[in-house]
Structure 1
Amino acid sequence: MSLLLKLARHSRWTLCVALVTSLISGFGNAGLVALINQALSASAAQLAQLGWQFFALGVVVLATRTVSQTLFMGLGQRAKASLRMQTIRRLGDASFRHLEQQGAARSLAVLTQDLDAIVMLFVRMPALAMQSAVIVGCLAYLSVLSWQILLVAIVTIGIGAAGFRVANGRALFHLRASRQREDDLVRHFRALFDGAKELKLHRLRRAAFIDSTLSTNVEAVRVQRTRGYVLYAAAASWGSFILFAFIGITLFVVARVLPMSSHVMSGYAMVFLYMIMPIESLLSAIPNIGTARVALERIEAVNAELPLENGLDAPEKRAFGSIVLDGVTHRYFREKENDVFTLGPVSLTFEPGELVYLIGGNGSGKTTLAKLIVGLYAPESGRIVLDGVPLGEADRDSYRQLFSVVFSDFFLFDNLLGMRFDGLDQTAQDLLVHLQLDHKVSIKDGVFSTLELSQGQRKRLALLVAYLEDRPFYLFDEWAADQDPLFKEVFYRKLLPGLKAKGKTVVVITHDDRYFHLADRYIKLEYGQLVQTGAGAGEVTQARPAAH
């Protein structure tokens, strides 16, 4: 609950006013009951005075209730926005490897469903505070009528609270378990869209995925959620039963033992009947507290699993003299092969103004090596040396600013985020013409008119963004794989040499062997090992093995 306490400290005055007005409203409700009870045995002269008191107290109750609800609603939305931005910044500042390990499902659930649960807690807070104040106020009034019966009431409430605590604990257990299962559901829901083509093309796969995988998880969530809420309902029913039991004990047992006036007995009966609604309302709000508690635990867990990177405020590097990979390695588990893949040790050097092709079979580790080169992965052993200085953890984010990359699984934003310079729109429009996209896309104020393009066209748009970034080191991961022969020619014979002519370092992951001779040198990987290096593709088959 530390996140909620932190938010409370930032809005403590608003929270204090909201709580005070809720309590005033609740005590005011209890005061209205007391006035009604007094009016039942008051004289005609007293009724007029009690009537004015009743009217004034009613106005206070209405005003404080409205203020309390308004403030708590605002606090709820503020808490949601603050927690959402805190989680977003945590995601943005976490290392790429930790983001990959966590996956998107949990974070998406936290940013949507869990935060809504916290808002609902704030929505119910006015009722919680008011109903609690009503109950306390009514008990205080009962103590004035008869302290003996008040003691019986406290004992009875204690018994009810003990039973409620047991049921509430079990309910919270089931809510936590169901919430964890919903992470799997979110992941499967995404697969329902991302794998739509594959599901449509294979009827048995679609049936197995929907009827087995999805249905099983949906049913498991339903069962555990139902158990949790049934236990909450049982706890609330137990509370109501205890309340009626107390009324019965008071009227039919205590009244026979202790001499009491009919005024006191009627007052007790009326007050306790009035307390039924506040108590049931209080008990019905308990599930919201439990759900919010689980949501807060999950938000804290997600944030705890994403340690912040160091050096995020370090100055950007805009040039380099050399980048050396000195015996770097990287390991990760491959689910399909059910084994651990090891890349390296790899030793390479990159300098400005060279065009390098990274080649090798599928699964040889080319993309993993690319992520090591650009600083998305930190080497598990070995080191990266920038201009003769070993790269430290605090330097990694600054180092990454040297690179413009278009990965094979790239993501394309709908605007030129982070780029603002004079003539941006015109420069981008000129590039759209060169890439033959001007008939599909236009740009205004750095925003693309559409991203509804073919995969090849989207890659051209990603290439445009990379060009505008104007970084000293470019890396393209199978960029030409979705291009027609015309654009392959343009890419290999014009765009890449053009970048090299500007002094850029360019690394291209490719299978297009007909263009290998255009590279200054090539690097060949097989099964995670650097097996060959050479100058130009004419020597690929005869080249010497790489030194390890």
Structure 2
Amino acid sequence: MKIKLVQFFSSESTVSKQSILLLIMVSGLFAGMFLFIINNTAYAIYNNLHNEFQYVLQFFVVVAIMYMTKKEAFNRSILVTEELIRKLRVRIVDKIRHTELRFIEQNGSTEIFNRLTQDINILSQSLPVFVISLDALFTITGVFIYCSFLSFSSFLCMIIFVFISLLFFFSKYIETKNQLSIADEEERNYFETINGLLVGFKQIKVNQKRNQSLFNDLKDMTDKTKSLKAKGIFNLLLVTLYTDTLYFVMLGAFIFLLPLLFESNKMILPKLITAVLYIYSPLSLIYKFAPHIVMSNLAVERLERLEKQLDKNMRYDEHPTTLPKDFQTISLSSVVFHYMDKDNQSTFTLGPLDMSIHQGEVVFIAGGNGSGKSTLLKLLTGLYETNASGTILLNDEHITEKTLSMYRQLFSIIFTDYHLFKKLYGIEKVDPNRTNDLLEEMALEKKTQFKEQQFTNIDLSTGQKKRLAYVVSILEDRPIYVFDEWAADQDPEFREYFYTTIIADLKKIGKTIIAVTHDDRYFDYADRLIKMDNGMIEEKESKIS
């Protein structure tokens, strides 16, 4: 069995591990030496030897060294631990931002969020406990060395005790790890369902049967998790109980058996009993580390698995030195995209599609639910890559892995599930006056303000959020504006304003507009209408001048 926490510490840290280990070793061994001074002092007092000053001096020297080395070891280990956690978080977040949208959609935010919070917190809590346990281990080592000089037979007895304790732990380790691993899966399902409860709160509030059924499902999940975790933790506590019992058996053996078997041990019996009692506290610290071994091993495994998945699905895009200001034509040539399930079977196919978007056009895309409109937008904007056949061309040049990042910079996109950031990331030198003018145009001036490079409030209705998203897109000033049913959540006045004014104003300044819409009464405001059905372009209509 590997303690993966040690492996993680060794591979991630650039700080010298030897210095921390040396400090812990010195601290632990001097704590063990403390026992030697206690026994010698007691012996001197009992035999009326007049060298108390020598032992008092030794006592304070050992205490001072033990305190200084322990403090420095703990201080360094805490700093290293927090630096490792920071480094791990930054690395994983960097990989997430360079991965592809499809990976995020398939794995879900709950899984990634749990790894970045739950598992990293386990490591953060386990590393200091590991350092304390290591200090306790060296203390016990110092005591064992001392006991080996007192009585080799007693030393062997202690070694047998440690060996049997380890056997007990290993006998329960695999079973416990499997139980806690299954419990983690149940917890993941639980958190996903809790997320559903919060996101779908309105649906369950108006349907009592659904409300109760969801609650029963959550209750069953917590029952399963409780049972699995209880069994796993009980196994670890059982190891502690066995070891505690063995400890007292060993103590009894020293008191009752050793004097009978070895006559010479009677003289040193008080020192041996003191030694055995002395190691109880550091032993307890090591026992307490046992649950952390199991939990941290699982955490490291899950984080490693996440990073491997991210590595397979990420691409470090070359940052465009200059952002594209314009284009002439974007074309899809025989593009096919498959949605694949876990068994690598296609559940929905888009295409083959052939279409072009010209600079300055207003293109509307219509179609029923599930017809492929949003998937088409994701392909057009480069968020999805063709996974079957076909190519995307910009000005008759193929989009490649090297040019994909540059290509994406052409678009300012407002999807139906658009997320508003409070801060305007990536937009430099924002004019507050212009921003507040745009807020007024969108009738949001009483809802939010733009101050200190961020919006004061983003807790808005769905329609208001989309209007605020439009403000952000105007500030981004990209050549192509993509609206995914933007008008659907607006009141009649703003819906009309979108088609009659916003689109017209964008077209006047040379912007290209691609909008998914169901508002057939406004189809005439488009230069072209593309109708989709079952993943295919069913019809293309051009506006008749």
TM-score normalised by length of structure 2 = 0.93
Checking the alignment, whether the CA contact within 8 Å between 1:424 and 1:446 is kept in structure 2 is no
Q: Equivalent residue for 1:229? A: 233
Q: Distance in 1 between the 2:339 and 2:346 partners?
A: 9
Q: Equivalent residue for 2:314? A: 308
**Amino acid aligned to 1:530:** I
From 126, 135, 150, give the equivalent of 2:131.
126
Q: Equivalent residue for 1:495? A: 502
Checking the alignment, whether the CA contact within 8 Å between 1:160 and 1:239 is kept in structure 2 is yes
**Amino acid aligned to 2:412:** S
Q: More deviation in 106-115 or 301-310?
A: 301-310
**Amino acid aligned to 1:93:** H
Q: Distance in 2 between the 1:167 and 1:434 partners?
A: 67
Give 1:246 deviation, angstroms: 2.5
Summarize the alignment of residues 10-21 of structure 1 with structure 2, pairs less than 5 Å apart.
Answer: 11-13=13-15, 15-21=17-23
Give 1:414 deviation, angstroms: 0.7
Pair 1:265 & 2:272 matched:
no
Q: Equivalent residue for 1:283? A: 287
Q: Equivalent residue for 1:65? A: 70
Q: For residues 2 and 165 of structure 1, do their structure 2 counterparts lie closer, same or farther at Cα, with a shift above 3 Å needed?
A: closer
Q: Equivalent residue for 2:373? A: 366
Give 1:440 deviation, angstroms: 1.9
Q: Distance in 2 between the 1:261 and 1:4 partners?
A: 40
Summarize the alignment of residues 342-361 of structure 1 with structure 2, pairs less than 5 Å apart.
Answer: 342-361=349-368
Q: For residues 133 and 3 of structure 1, do their structure 2 counterparts lie closer, same or farther at Cα, with a shift above 3 Å needed?
A: closer
Q: Equivalent residue for 1:395? A: 403
Note the residue ranges of structure 1 that are not aligned, 5 or more in a row.
540-548
Pair 1:507 & 2:514 matched:
yes
**Amino acid aligned to 1:308:** M
Pair 1:386 & 2:390 matched:
no
Q: Equivalent residue for 2:25? A: 23
From 133, 148, 156, give the equivalent of 1:151.
156
Per-residue CA shift, 1:194-231, capped at 9, x if unaligned? 011111111111111012x2111111111111111111
Q: Distance in 1 between the 2:4 and 2:410 partners?
A: 38
Structure 1 runs of 4+ off > 6 angstroms? 1-4
Checking the alignment, whether the CA contact within 8 Å between 2:5 and 2:297 is kept in structure 1 is no
SS of the residue 1:395 aligns to: helix
Checking the alignment, whether the CA contact within 8 Å between 2:448 and 2:457 is kept in structure 1 is yes
SS of the residue 1:285 aligns to: helix
Pair 1:444 & 2:451 matched:
yes
**Amino acid aligned to 1:30:** G
From 298, 301, 313, give the equivalent of 1:294.
298
Q: Distance in 2 between the 1:438 and 1:389 partners?
A: 44
Pair 1:174 & 2:179 matched:
yes
Q: Equivalent residue for 2:110? A: 105
Q: Equivalent residue for 1:35? A: 37
Note the residue ranges of structure 2 that are not aligned, 5 or more in a row.
none
Q: For residues 72 and 245 of structure 1, do their structure 2 counterparts lie closer, same or farther at Cα, with a shift above 3 Å needed?
A: same
Aligned residues, how many?
A: 534
SS of the residue 2:352 aligns to: strand
Q: Distance in 2 between the 1:522 and 1:151 partners?
A: 88
Give 1:439 deviation, angstroms: 2.2
Q: For residues 144 and 318 of structure 1, do their structure 2 counterparts lie closer, same or farther at Cα, with a shift above 3 Å needed?
A: farther
Q: More deviation in 251-260 or 275-284?
A: 251-260
Q: Distance in 1 between the 2:283 and 2:318 partners?
A: 51
Q: For residues 332 and 253 of structure 1, do their structure 2 counterparts lie closer, same or farther at Cα, with a shift above 3 Å needed?
A: same
Per-residue CA shift, 1:37-70, capped at 9, x if unaligned? 1122114323221111112211222222222222
Q: More deviation in 234-243 or 63-72?
A: 63-72
From 196, 208, 214, give the equivalent of 1:209.
214
Checking the alignment, whether the CA contact within 8 Å between 2:4 and 2:297 is kept in structure 1 is no
Q: Distance in 2 between the 1:291 and 1:312 partners?
A: 38
Pair 1:251 & 2:258 matched:
no
Q: More deviation in 252-261 or 433-442?
A: 252-261
Q: Equivalent residue for 1:410? A: 418
Give 1:272 deviation, angstroms: 1.0
Checking the alignment, whether the CA contact within 8 Å between 1:75 and 1:122 is kept in structure 2 is no
SS of the residue 1:358 aligns to: strand
Q: Equivalent residue for 2:540? A: 533
Per-residue CA shift, 1:134-172, capped at 9, x if unaligned? 110010001111223322322332122112211123222
From 311, 323, 339, give the equivalent of 1:332.
339
Per-residue CA shift, 1:328-356, capped at 9, x if unaligned? 11122699xx9812111111111111000
SS of the residue 2:246 aligns to: helix
Q: Distance in 1 between the 2:277 and 2:316 partners?
A: 61
Per-residue CA shift, 1:382-401, capped at 9, x if unaligned? 11112222112232222111
Q: Equivalent residue for 1:435? A: 442
Q: Equivalent residue for 1:453? A: 460
Pair 1:486 & 2:493 matched:
yes
Give 1:77 deviation, angstroms: 2.2
Q: Distance in 2 between the 1:389 and 1:300 partners?
A: 39
CA RMSD, Structure 1 to Structure 2 (Å) = 2.2
Give 1:88 deviation, angstroms: 1.3
Q: Equivalent residue for 1:542? A: none
Pair 1:199 & 2:204 matched:
yes
Checking the alignment, whether the CA contact within 8 Å between 2:100 and 2:314 is kept in structure 1 is yes
Q: Distance in 2 between the 1:236 and 1:2 partners?
A: 21
Q: For residues 281 and 322 of structure 1, do their structure 2 counterparts lie closer, same or farther at Cα, with a shift above 3 Å needed?
A: same
Q: More deviation in 243-252 or 364-373?
A: 243-252
Q: More deviation in 429-438 or 193-202?
A: 429-438
Q: Distance in 1 between the 2:186 and 2:309 partners?
A: 18
Q: More deviation in 93-102 or 383-392?
A: 383-392
Checking the alignment, whether the CA contact within 8 Å between 1:310 and 1:394 is kept in structure 2 is no
Q: For residues 397 and 12 of structure 1, do their structure 2 counterparts lie closer, same or farther at Cα, with a shift above 3 Å needed?
A: closer
TM-score normalised by length of structure 1 = 0.93
Give 1:133 deviation, angstroms: 0.7
Checking the alignment, whether the CA contact within 8 Å between 1:22 and 1:130 is kept in structure 2 is yes
Q: For residues 282 and 6 of structure 1, do their structure 2 counterparts lie closer, same or farther at Cα, with a shift above 3 Å needed?
A: closer
**Amino acid aligned to 1:455:** T
